[in-house]
Amino acid sequence: MSSFFWWLFKALTWTVMKKIIASYCGRLSKLFGKSTGSARNLKVIFNDFPGGAESFELMSRFCYSNGRTVINPSNISLLYSAAQFMEMNISVSGTHNLLEETGKSLEEMKYWTWSELLMTTKKCQDLLPFPNSTGILEKCVDSLIGRITASGEPSPCPSTSSPDSSGARLSCDTRSTESLKNSFSRATWWFEDLLFLSTNLVGMVIEPMVSKKFDHVIISRFLFSLPEIKVLYWHV
């Protein structure tokens, strides 16, 4: 992080932002429009800026590049949160606005790789609680669950509460041990990849799993594989 951008983040001066950054940010435009103090001495400090200095630098580069920047899974959560926080929408800067650009990129999430989805979800988790109010975190979770569901049957065996439960139990009981192992392995391949989830995010992941009728055994095994859940369990 360059010293220039760190200084810019901590104490933004009117002379720097008046014609460039403020022209893209509705929040600053409204703030400066209401200001009655000396423009020369005006300072704005954002202690709660989502993503801190890193996010602000990315946003600033967008403004200083005439509303253009590279948006990818590694920075989209920072840029989208900054755009929401600074009100960088179409009413301020027209077609070249960061909120719309990041929104378009989020629509392409269905084409991302599994690794890219994990990367963005981790970034969102680091930005909590702000991303939860913007909807980006929910999009990430929905995509993760969709990939897990599409990769194989969420429930290796039908529910024992179904009308055909007796037949289902018989079918499952007659499978070979090796077949059961392979089936369980296919159903739990994602466990290790999601071990980074915090307790704040676990609920958001489990709820859609239940609604999509994931096998409860799989869900339970996943929960007890999480480091934080293990700590709570052993302290009970």
pLDDT digits (tens, 9 = 90+) for 107-136: 999 999 999 999 999 999 988 887 667 789
Residue 191 has pLDDT above 80, yes or no: yes
Choice between 75 and 15, residue whose per-residue pLDDT is larger: 75
> What confidence tier does 199 reach under pLDDT thresholds 50, 70, 90?
confident
Q: Are 73 and 116 in contact (CB under 8 A)?
A: yes
Q: What's the CA gap between 12 and 80, in Å, rounded?
A: 20
Residues above pLDDT 70, as percent of the chain:
67
> What confidence tier does 193 reach under pLDDT thresholds 50, 70, 90?
very high
- Residues sharing a CB contact under 8 Å with residue 224, sequence separation 6 or more, in sequence order: 230, 233
Per the DSSP assignment, residues forming a β-bridge with 43 are: 13
Angle, vertex CA 58, rays to CA 56 and CA 62, nearest 5: 110
Query: Is residue 44 classed as helix, strand or coil in its secondary structure?
Result: strand
Choice between 202 and 129, residue whose per-residue pLDDT is larger: 202
Could you identify the residue written with the tokens 């609604």?
211
| Mean pLDDT score, 38-56 | 77
CATH code linked to domain 3-111: 3.30.710
Instruction: Classify residue 28 as exposed, middle or buried by CB count within 10 Å of its CB (0-12, 13-18, 19+).
Output: buried
Position 157 scores a pLDDT of 42
DSSP string, 77-120: HHHHHHHHHTT--HHHHTTS-HHHHHHHHHHGGGGS-HHHHHHH
* Pair of tokens at residue 224: 């007890």
Annotated domain spans of the chain: 3-111, 153-234
Residue 198 DSSP code: -
Could you identify the residue written with the tokens 């529910």?
159
| Helix, strand and coil percent figures for the chain, each rounded to 5 | 65, 0, 35
Position 178 scores a pLDDT of 54
Burial 62-72 (b: 16+ CB within 10 A, else e): bbeeebebebe
| Mean pLDDT score, 153-162 | 41
Question: What is the reported pTM?
Answer: 0.74
> What confidence tier does 141 reach under pLDDT thresholds 50, 70, 90?
very high
**Phi, psi dihedrals of residue 22, rounded to the nearest 5°:** -65, -25
| Mean pLDDT score, 173-194 | 68
| Mean pLDDT score, 9-19 | 56
Q: What's the CA gap between 120 and 13, in Å, rounded?
A: 32
Q: Are 168 and 160 in contact (CB under 8 A)?
A: yes
Position 12 scores a pLDDT of 52
| Cis amide bond preceding 131, omega within 30 | no
* Pair of tokens at residue 153: 């049957």
Q: What's the CA gap between 229 and 219, in Å, rounded?
A: 13
